[in-house]
Amino acid sequence: MDIIEFKLPESFEMVEIYPLSDLHIGDPKVDKRLFKEFINHILAEPYRFIIYNGDNMNNAIKSSVSNVYNEEMTPREQKKWLQRELEPVKDRILVFVEGNHEARTGKDTDQRIVEDIADHLGKSDLYREDEAYIKLIFGKRANSGSQMCYTIYIVHGNGGGKRPGSALNNIELLALGTDADVYIMGHVHKKMAYKNAVRRPDLRNNNILEQERLFVVSSHWSEFGGYAARKMLNPSAKGSVPIKLYGRVKKMEAIV
């Protein structure tokens, strides 16, 4: 897997990252007003960026579990809606990762919907089908003057479970096989953030460093009802989880 590298200005003392997943546009219960507020919020400051992390189209097709007769847009209309609505923030999107809802079309017809959206926005080099790894460089360290660097691992997610512990278990398990500062997933429609720490050897100075890692699960954007009610799921908080990365000291925060 290749690493997507971004070098942002030294003047950025902070960068905010906003995962966008599980919008499920096409479902009539989507809160479009909340999404519009989200786009305006991104554009309000130059240091705000988006991680496109799958299932932003509901993409009900004949072979899927979703009911095609409940949709307020066809899959083609959903794709065009996202292309239009993301145009103003296309230069703020760091990566496009596919979700299981978009993968339905890929399985049936070999058409990659998220890749089409990235192509339309002139960002085809930022499309990743399954997972992505980002290296983000910005700011200036207070103690050395060098730029700060963060690594971010992104995957849409998998699995289920009604309780939040199952989602946290899934995302923390990622750290057993992939090293990063920040891990981001969606899929489970729960809004959460969690930190742990890892001990890493500093071979240059012959000591052990204890470094924090941040795990973020982004949520859905829909009013409660329909599928969630039928499955006896509880309502959950909507929207993205803002992630703050600092440019003078190594510090990561998530706002839930």
Whichever domain contains 62, its CATH number is 3.60.21.10
Angle, helices 113-120/75-86, rounded to nearest 10 degrees: 30
> How many CB atoms are closer than 10 A to CB 223?
15
Two structure tokens written together for 165:
């512990």
Q: Phi first, then psi: what are they for 42, rounded to 5°? A: -60, -45
Q: In terms of residue numbers, what domain contains 154? A: 4-254
Q: pLDDT digit string (tens) for 115-133?
A: 999 999 999 999 999 999 9
Mean pLDDT in residue range 177-202? 95
* Predicted confidence band of residue 92 (pLDDT cuts 50, 70, 90): very high
* Predicted confidence band of residue 58 (pLDDT cuts 50, 70, 90): very high
Predicted confidence at residue 91, as pLDDT, reads: 98
* Total H helices, total E strands in the chain: 6, 12
- DSSP state for residue 64 in the 8-state scheme: S
* Predicted confidence band of residue 204 (pLDDT cuts 50, 70, 90): confident
Two structure tokens written together for 254:
């998530």
Q: pLDDT digit string (tens) for 146-172?
A: 999 999 999 999 887 778 888 899 999
Domain count within the chain: 1
Alpha-carbon gap, residue 48 to 15, rounded angstroms: 6
Kindly give the residue spans of alpha helices, DSSP state H, lying in 55-214: 75-86, 100-109, 113-120, 164-173
Predicted confidence at residue 253, as pLDDT, reads: 98
CB 55 within 8 A of CB 101: yes
Q: What percent of the chain has pLDDT over 90?
A: 77
Which one, of 189, 173, 164, lies nearest residue 240 by Cα? 189
